[in-house]
């Protein structure tokens, strides 16, 4: 059974940084595409970033929402079964519950494409 557990959320001032982690178990981690999503208060869950391995190489494909490009970086450590989201230059509009998700196959940008989810971690950015 696939289990995902996020950590690293918290309260930060605008302009600050946070790094979120998502530890996976019960899955051949290196074969799965991983995604970060967020759900701001009163809004729909939205895509933030995704990553998957490029074939049999050590390279990775990544994609980002336009709202976070240049500020957020997704990465993964397959040896540790962990995916990270480095968030820099945080803005109050980044405030949300952040979720880690996994799927077998290519990168995805829609929540419905991901069958496995963590419980989420709260990120609050104060102005």
Cα–Cα distances (Å) from 33 to 9, 38, 127, in that order, read 22, 17, 34
Query: Tell me, what's the pLDDT at 4?
Result: 97
Report the distance separating Cα 127 and Cα 90, nearest Å.
Answer: 10
Report the distance separating Cα 7 and Cα 113, nearest Å.
Answer: 23
Query: Tell me, what's the pLDDT at 105?
Result: 85
Q: What is the mean pLDDT of each run of 10 residues along the chain (127 residues)?
A: 94 98 88 95 97 78 96 94 97 98 92 96 97
Query: Tell me, what's the pLDDT at 57?
Result: 66
Report the distance separating Cα 104 and Cα 28, nearest Å.
Answer: 10
């Amino acid at each position: 059974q696939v289990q995902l557990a996020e950590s690293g959320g918290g309260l930060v001032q605008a302009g600050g940084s946070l790094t979120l982690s998502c530890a996976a178990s019960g899955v051949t981690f290196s074969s799965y595409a991983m995604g970060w999503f967020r759900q701001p208060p009163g809004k729909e869950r939205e895509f933030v970033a995704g990553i998957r391995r490029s074939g049999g190489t050590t390279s990775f494909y990544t994609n980002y929402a336009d709202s976070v490009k240049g500020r957020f970086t997704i990465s993964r450590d397959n040896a540790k079964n962990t995916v990270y989201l480095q968030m820099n230059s945080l803005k109050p509009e980044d405030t949300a519950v952040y979720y880690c998700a996994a799927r077998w196959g290519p990168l995805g940008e829609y929540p419905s494409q991901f069958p496995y989810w963590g419980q989420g971690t709260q990120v609050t950015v104060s102005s």
